[in-house]
């Protein structure tokens, strides 16, 4: 879609639509033509959760003609603190179906296209190619790099947003006009450095603010506005109530959008982001039942919990020691290497990274990763334990 092409034949608006969008149409910068462009547009949301919620609702209210949603997850009660598109009655329902219900409840004129699947390097190009704009509503680095690369290869603009705890950021990446995500972040941070919302927490209203900024840029782009967030990164601190803007520029050496790109197809993003590694298969695992037997038999073991302090306060194993992941490397000397050391986290992901860090830092004792983390302990051993 050429957002400024005046030769494109735009769809007509019905009387009902004119009435519905009248407060838009009377704006000088929108008008009848802008509203018709909104009706003609197709926007894809990769993720139907925290960021996807406000984007979907405001795009639907604004009159975007087609909204696609890619998500494979189900609505969980823990989502409701921030994912405002979902309701209590839809807990357990596919997020795509729950979101579709809410969108059509706001605007029955919208064509909602659902993809009940995980976006992968195998399906991303096929899913994205039919949409005009993509909104990044993901919460992990492999997905972010995947979405960015697919948009660059397909020459699609990408409305970017990310959130963590009290901080968020937003931009509009469009390799045809400026920088892409890789220009700003050539490589991901070390695994475990930036946990997901489920692991690190997020201030409930933050995704509403960042998601609205993404929706704002999408609508402006569709109607032909010039003052967009291209080559600008907007940072927001909800706790200090402070916005900061950083100027960006296209990296001519960017491996995907630079002058001599080396990335010409989608890659293995789990490997690129360090979530799959050659040495992960060497990590030894222990089940919660095996750990329970060790505890019941009074075996001498170390139990190291690498979650954040606030998580540790919610639920913990007796006699476990809290060493947050970012402190593991400097705590090698504090751990007795003469007995087995069981390392745990919420779901068994961060603890793998912790074991790799301990091994690289010279720890010589036996390290065991608690498979599926403390959630498995709550599910299979102690049903009274608080889950979060």
Structure-token match 């005009």, residue found: 132
At residue 191, the pLDDT reads: 62
Give start and end residues of each alpha helix (H) in 41-176: 52-62, 95-106, 124-128, 141-154
Q: Which of 50, 58, 63 is nearest to 20 (CA)?
A: 63
CB atoms within 10 A of CB 203: 18
**Would you list the domain boundaries of the chain?**
15-272, 280-380
Strand 301-305, strand 167-173: pairing: unpaired
Lowest pLDDT segment from 2-16, 185-199, 301-315: 185-199
Same fold, 15-272 and 280-380: no
* 121 contact partners, CB below 8 Å, separation of at least 6: 146, 266, 267, 268, 269
Residue 52 and residue 84 in contact, taking contact as beta carbons nearer than 8 Å: no
Backbone angles phi, psi at 381, to 5 degrees: -115, -50
**What is the homologous superfamily of the domain 15-272 according to CATH?**
NAD(P)-binding Rossmann-like Domain (3.40.50.720)
Residue 32 and residue 12 in contact, taking contact as beta carbons nearer than 8 Å: no
Residue 177 and residue 209 in contact, taking contact as beta carbons nearer than 8 Å: no
Q: Which two tokens stand for residue 208?
A: 């509403």
- Pick 387 or 295 by higher pLDDT: 295
- The one-character DSSP state at 374 is H
- Residue-wise pLDDT tens digits, 140-169: 899 999 999 999 999 999 999 999 999 999
At residue 162, the pLDDT reads: 96
At residue 269, the pLDDT reads: 83
- The one-character DSSP state at 260 is S
At residue 196, the pLDDT reads: 63
DSSP, collapsed to helix, strand or coil, labels residue 295 as helix
- Residue-wise pLDDT tens digits, 35-93: 999 999 999 999 999 999 999 999 999 999 999 999 999 999 999 999 999 999 999 99
The end-to-end CA distance of the chain, in Å, is 43
Is the pLDDT at 229 greater than 50? The verdict is: yes
* Percent of the chain residues topping a pLDDT of 70: 94
At residue 2, the pLDDT reads: 64
183 membership: H or E segment, kind and range: helix 181-184
Classify domain 280-380 by CATH number. Answer: 3.40.250.10
- Residue-wise pLDDT tens digits, 269-325: 877 766 665 455 679 999 999 999 999 999 999 999 999 998 999 999 999 999 999
Q: Which of 102, 64, 63 is nearest to 83 (CA)?
A: 102
Residue 320 and residue 307 in contact, taking contact as beta carbons nearer than 8 Å: no
Lowest pLDDT segment from 198-207, 246-255, 301-310: 198-207
* Percent of the chain residues topping a pLDDT of 90: 84
Q: Respond yes or no: is residue 212 known to be catalytic.
A: no
Q: Respond yes or no: is residue 345 known to be catalytic.
A: yes
Which of 151, 180, 197, 273 is catalytic? The answer is 197
């Amino acid at each position: 879609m050429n957002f400024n092409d005046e030769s494109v034949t735009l769809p007509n608006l019905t009387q009902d639509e004119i009435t519905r969008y009248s407060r838009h149409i009377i704006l000088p910068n929108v008008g009848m033509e802008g509203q018709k462009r909104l009706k003609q547009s197709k926007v894809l949301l990769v993720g139907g959760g925290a960021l996807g919620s406000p984007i979907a609702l405001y795009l639907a209210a604004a009159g975007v003609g087609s909204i696609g949603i890619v998500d494979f997850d189900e609505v969980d009660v823990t989502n409701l603190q921030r994912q405002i598109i979902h309701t209590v009655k839809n807990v357990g329902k596919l997020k795509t179906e729950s979101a579709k219900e809410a969108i059509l409840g706001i605007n029955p004129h919208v064509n909602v296209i659902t993809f009940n699947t995980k976006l992968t390097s195998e399906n991303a190009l096929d899913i994205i190619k039919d949409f005009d704009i993509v909104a990044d509503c993901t919460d992990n680095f492999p997905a972010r790099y995947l979405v960015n690369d697919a948009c660059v290869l397909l020459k699609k603009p990408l409305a970017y947003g990310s959130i963590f705890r009290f901080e968020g950021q937003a931009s509009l990446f469009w390799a045809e006009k400026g920088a892409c995500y890789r220009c700003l972040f050539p490589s991901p941070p070390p695994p475990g450095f930036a946990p997901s919302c489920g692991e690190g927490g997020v201030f409930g209203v933050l995704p509403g603010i960042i998601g609205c900024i993404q929706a704002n840029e999408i609508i402006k782009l569709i109607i032909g506005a010039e003052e967009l967030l291209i080559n600008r990164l907007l940072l927001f601190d909800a706790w200090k109530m402070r916005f900061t803007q950083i100027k960006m520029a296209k990296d001519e050496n960017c491996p995907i959008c630079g002058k001599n790109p080396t990335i010409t197809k989608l890659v293995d993003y789990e490997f690129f982001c360090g979530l799959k590694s050659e040495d992960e298969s060497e990590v030894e695992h222990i089940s919660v039942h095996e750990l329970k037997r060790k505890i019941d038999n009074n075996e001498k073991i170390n139990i190291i919990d690498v979650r954040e302090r606030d998580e540790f306060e919610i639920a913990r194993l007796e006699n476990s020691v809290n060493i947050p992941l970012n402190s593991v490397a400097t705590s090698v000397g504090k751990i007795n290497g003469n007995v087995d050391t069981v390392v745990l986290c919420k779901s068994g992901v961060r603890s793998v990274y912790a074991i790799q860090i301990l091994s690289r830092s010279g720890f010589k004792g036996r390290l065991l990763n608690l498979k599926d983390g403390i959630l498995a302990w709550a599910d299979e051993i102690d049903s009274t334990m608080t889950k979060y």
